[in-house]
Amino acid sequence: MKNLVFSMLLMAGLGFVNAAWALESIDSDNKPFAEANIVLQLGDGDAETQARVINVANNLIKHYGGPDFVNLEIVAYGPGISLLYPDNPNVERISSLLVSDVKFVACMNTVETITRKTGKKPELIPAAIPVKTGVAHLVERAGQGYVVIRP
């Protein structure tokens, strides 16, 4: 397992010197009893895929025995950013996951691209956590020991 993590760190450009820091930076302070750190990747805008990602998040919370035992993030980029629109049909399910401390991460490169193409900046739910590049965030989380899953 350590070799896999080390290889991922090298691929991410973090290098050996930063390996210990990267592994220690997992949000374990927030959930000291978490058994797993998982990022769900969402790059698709279709409703079925978005519902599947939400279902997977709920199933993981149940599997681990509650929200205190799993760190979960959903990273939305590309067409998947529409999950984080306030008028998304899944907004109530998202609110439920927010109560369980699931983090919703928004790719600002995607938002900037939409703004440039349409002339209008898309509105996101207030809970959306902005990151410059969604895919880079996935790589960074992998380097920090998170398991990245694309449901």
- Residues 88-115: tens digit of each pLDDT: 999 999 999 999 999 999 999 999 999 9
The DSSP-derived string for 23-82 is HHTSSTTT-TT-SEEEEEEE---SHHHHHHHHHHHHHHHHHTTSGGGEEEEEEE-GGGGG
Q: Give me the pLDDT at residue 13, please.
A: 38
- Residues 108-146: tens digit of each pLDDT: 999 999 999 999 999 999 999 999 999 999 999 999 999
Confidence of residue 30 (pLDDT cuts 50, 70, 90): confident
In terms of pLDDT, which residue wins out, 109 or 6? 109
Verdict on whether the full-model pTM lies above 0.85: no
Task: Write out the two tokens for 117.
Answer: 């193409």
Cβ(71)–Cβ(37) below 8 Å: yes
Domains of the chain: 36-149 (3.40.1260.10)
Please give the single-letter amino acid code of residue 20.
Answer: A
